Structure formats: C-alpha cells, structure tokens
C-alpha cells in the first residue's frame, strides 16, 4: 500500500509543480511583455523628443534671422515709443562736445 500511496503522491506533486511552473511562466511572460511595451513606448518618446528638438532648433535659427528685421521695422514705425525722444535730437547735437583732432594743428 505504501508504494501505491507514494506513487500517487508523486503524480500529484508533479502535477502541482507543473501547474505552479505554468503560473510562473505566464506571469513572467506578462512581465516581459509589459517590459517590451514600455521599452517601445520609451523609444517612441525619445524619437518624438529628437524630432521636437530638431524643429525647435530650426525655429530658433529662423527667429534669430528675423529678429534684426523686426527691430528695424519697430524702429522705423511711427507708433514706436522711441519716437517720443526724437524732439531731443537737435538739443543733444547742439550740446554735444566736439573733440578736436590734435593732428589738425600739424
């Protein structure tokens, strides 16, 4: 009787070990699949960030080329607040110190 019980226990134990290993395998596969999905998402985000970085670089270069034009247009505009001081230009020129060139005497 003892060998029969041992054999039954052995069969039962092997079946439980298989069930447990299948559960672990399923869980491990789920974890691995989650990791792969996260890795894909991360690489997609990194590619998107690189794309944005290149576009921002192009935009900044374009804006840097346009800023002097914007400043000139602003300075030439009649509505600029800097026009308020245009009336002082003759007075400034009038009181400007004229430096003489010492080479003129020779």
Establish how many alpha carbons lie within 13 A of residue 57's alpha carbon, considering only the half-sphere containing its beta carbon: 6
- Please say whether the beta carbons of 80 and 74 come within 8 A: yes
What does the pLDDT look like over 55-103, one tens digit per residue?
999 998 888 888 887 777 776 767 766 667 777 777 777 777 776 777 7
pLDDT for 17-39, tens place per residue?
888 888 778 888 888 899 999 99
Does residue 82 contact residue 75 with C-beta atoms inside 8 Å? yes
Range of the domain at 49: 2-96
Q: What pLDDT does 97 receive?
A: 73
Domain assignment present for 102: no
How far separated are the first and last CA of the chain, in Å rounded?
135
Would you say the pTM of this structure is higher than 0.75?
Answer: no
Number of domains forming the structure of the chain: 1
Residue 25 located in a structural domain: yes
Could you tell me if residue 34 is inside a domain? yes
Residue 106 lies in a domain: no
**Is residue 101 domain-resident?**
no
């Amino acid at each position: 009787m003892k060998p029969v019980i041992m054999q039954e226990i052995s069969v039962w134990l092997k079946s439980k070990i298989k069930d447990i290993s299948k559960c672990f395998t399923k869980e491990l596969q789920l974890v691995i699949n989650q990791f792969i999905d996260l890795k894909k998402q991360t690489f997609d985000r990194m590619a998107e960030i690189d794309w944005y970085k290149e576009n921002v670089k192009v935009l900044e270069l374009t804006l840097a080329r346009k800023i002097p034009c914007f400043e000139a247009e602003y300075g030439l505009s009649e509505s600029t607040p800097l026009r308020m001081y245009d009336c002082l230009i003759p007075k400034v020129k009038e009181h400007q110190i004229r430096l003489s060139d010492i080479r003129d005497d020779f």
